[in-house]
Amino acid sequence: MLDTEAADSLIAAAHRARQRAYAPYSGFTVGAAVLCADGSVLPGCNIENGALGATVCAERVAMFSAIAAGHQEIVAIAVVGAPGRLLTPCGVCRQVMRELAPDADVIMEGGGERLVMSVAELLPAPFELQPGT
């Protein structure tokens, strides 16, 4: 579990990332940030597309950025939305978290609340496909 100062810093990075969201269709902007084992913080924001299936959530953008940058261990993920509402990750993001960040803490903030859960708590029964099968 992250200490309060580290969690606050990760939430602040998620808020900054939210300002870069591309959400012209819904206006629903989300920011995320991941903390890697080496201390690196990578941001993510949701990116919509007119072909709605091509839209990508902020959490996945942040996790994919971390993996693409060569980071193999994500220890925490922060996610924030518009003020006044506590957001939790969608099902697809939860599944991706179980594969890319299974031991991470997920920090969700909004509406004056902060909720911290493990990835396993968010998705207790994930779909599992064994590599090579």
* pLDDT, tens digit (0-9, with 9 covering 90-100), for 5-56: 999 999 999 999 999 999 999 999 999 999 999 999 999 999 999 999 999 9
pLDDT band for position 94 (50/70/90)?
A: very high
pLDDT value for 133: 64
Residue 16 in tokens:
């900054």
pLDDT band for position 96 (50/70/90)?
A: very high
Express each pLDDT in 99-116 by its tens digit.
Answer: 999 999 999 999 889 999
**Under the phi-then-psi rule, with left for phi > 0, alpha for psi from -120 to 50, and beta for the rest, what region is 59?**
alpha
Is 79 or 127 the better-scoring residue by pLDDT?
A: 79
Is 6 or 133 the better-scoring residue by pLDDT?
A: 6
The yes-or-no answer on residue 128 being catalytic is no
**Under the phi-then-psi rule, with left for phi > 0, alpha for psi from -120 to 50, and beta for the rest, what region is 10?**
alpha
Average pLDDT over residues 112-128: 94
CA–CA gap between residue 36 and residue 67 (Å, rounded):
10
CA–CA gap between residue 128 and residue 36 (Å, rounded):
23
State the distance between the two ends of the chain, measured CA to CA, in whole angstroms.
34
pLDDT value for 50: 94
CATH of domain 4-122: 3.40.140.10
CA–CA gap between residue 88 and residue 82 (Å, rounded):
12
Q: Which of 5, 59, 113, 121 is catalytic?
A: 59
